[in-house]
Amino acid sequence: MLEGGIIVFAIIILYLALARTTGRQSATDLGGKSVTPQLASLLDYAARLYAERKYVAAEKAYLRVLRLDHKNTSAYLRLGAIYIAQKNYNDAIECYVVVSQIAPNALHFQYLGQAYLENRNHIKAIASLEKSIMFEASSQRYMLLARAYSKIANHSRTITALERAVELEPTARALVLLADAYDATKERDKAAALRSRAKQLRENQPHPAPGMIIGGPTA
């Protein structure tokens, strides 16, 4: 579990210093203070553990980072990802709440919204994802917002969010999701037309040559 004292202390400090720190972010540490040799070494060590999926050890290392730098967004983001992997959504939410206060941006509010979704807190998920979209709209964020609205059976807003997703990037996945939403409201003709578009998109996508490994290393 995330050490409560660290998070409580961080939130208090953040509220007191928010006016000074909002919008200012170190290019070297993604946090609130200069990187000392000790902090840099600890961050590298924690990153190696995280890359090796040694999550228990990585968690302890990132908590040590926060003792040295209680506004280090890199540590909060990695801790959030660790807790999501462990299905510990409450602690993940705590991390993403803090990081979205330190550095409010589209990605950080998206992470927070996704954590709320996983924790079945759909109203807070909607609020966070709408903030994310206010910073920067994207098809993916609208699809996440649609998922949150669908969880509370708000069909009209689900459709509106998916229509925006399709406008921004008409992928086959977005088209099929919108078709499913139209099916839920008995708009069968619209749903059928969207599935036809999705099928055409898939058929027109280039196929890899035989033996080619998608996403493999290039020469």
What b-and-e string marks burial along 161-193, b requiring 16 or more CB atoms within 10 Å of the CB?
bbebbbebeebbebbbbbbbbbeeeeeeeebee
What's the pLDDT tens digit per position in 195-218?
999 999 998 876 655 554 434 433
pLDDT for residue 2 is more than 60:
no
pLDDT at 219: 32
pLDDT of 168: 97
Residue range 47-63: mean pLDDT, rounded? 96
Q: Report whether pLDDT(16) > 50.
A: no
Q: How far does CA 103 lie from the centroid of its chain?
A: 14
Q: Is the pLDDT of residue 11 over 50?
A: no
CA dist., res. 145 & res. 138, Å (int): 11
pLDDT score at 33: 57
Confidence of residue 184 (pLDDT cuts 50, 70, 90): very high
pTM to 2 decimal places: 0.77
Q: What sign does the CA torsion over 89, 93, 99, 104 have?
A: positive
- pLDDT score of 42 more than 70: yes
pLDDT at 179: 97
